[in-house]
Structure 1
């Protein structure tokens, strides 16, 4: 029976040795996995740092661009204000011209009969003047012809 005790102790020792071998193998694989994870995390940290720097740079450029855009927008406000004032001035001028035009048109309509009469009188006066001048020239020509004889 004593040998049974030795055999059992040997089996326990072999089982313990196998258990230790499997644990060592598992721990080595776990160590490699952890080293790979550590390397991946370090690479990822480097990439995150690079992305952070680029993001900060992009944010600063965006802020500078927004400030520049705001300044230019503020300077354009005066241009738009002046354009609005100019538009109002043109609108006022157009209203004034329209009123004057309406007034002139109304007065022309009211005086169109008087103008027509004045034109008729002018034509009559011009006709009389022409006839007078023709008679005078005819008399002068006849008198000059008689004196030449």
Structure 2
């Protein structure tokens, strides 16, 4: 019976030794896996840093484009306001010219006789001048 006790102690010792060996193998494997995971995380971190930098550059460009678009929109708005003011000025000039042309077309009675005489006089002077020019070219 003593032998059974020794055999069972030997089996228990071997079992513990096997457990220790398997734990050591598992720990080594876990250590290797953790190293690989660490390397993978470093690569991911490096790539994320690059992506973050590119994202920041893209945001800066987007902000510059938005600012430029805003400036151009303000310029366009001021140009539109100027065009509107120019339109108002043109309308005012058109009304003024129409008023002057109405005044010329229907002058007051006191100037009508004078204007008719001036018209006859200028027409006569123009005819004389053109005849003189015509005669001058013939000779």
**Interval containing the TM-score (normalised by the shorter chain):** 0.5 to 0.7
CA RMSD in angstroms comes to 2.5
Q: 1:26 Cα deviation (Å)?
A: 1.4
State the alpha-carbon separation in 2 of the partners of residues 15 and 63 from structure 1: 69
Give the superposition deviation at 1:92. 6.7
1:6 aligns to what? 6
In the TM superposition, what is the alpha-carbon distance from 1:87 to its structure 2 partner? 4.0
Give the structure 2 partner of residue 65 of structure 1.
65
Which sections of structure 1, spanning at least 5 residues, go unmatched? 104-149
Q: Give the Å deviation of 1:86.
A: 3.5
Q: Which residue pairs with 2:23 in the alignment?
A: 23
* Separation (CA, whole Å) in 2 of partners of 1:91 and 1:25: 96
Unmatched 5+ residue regions in structure 2?
A: 103-139
Give 1:38's aligned residue: 38
After TM superposition, the score normalised by the length of structure 1 is 0.56
Q: CA deviation at 1:89?
A: 5.1
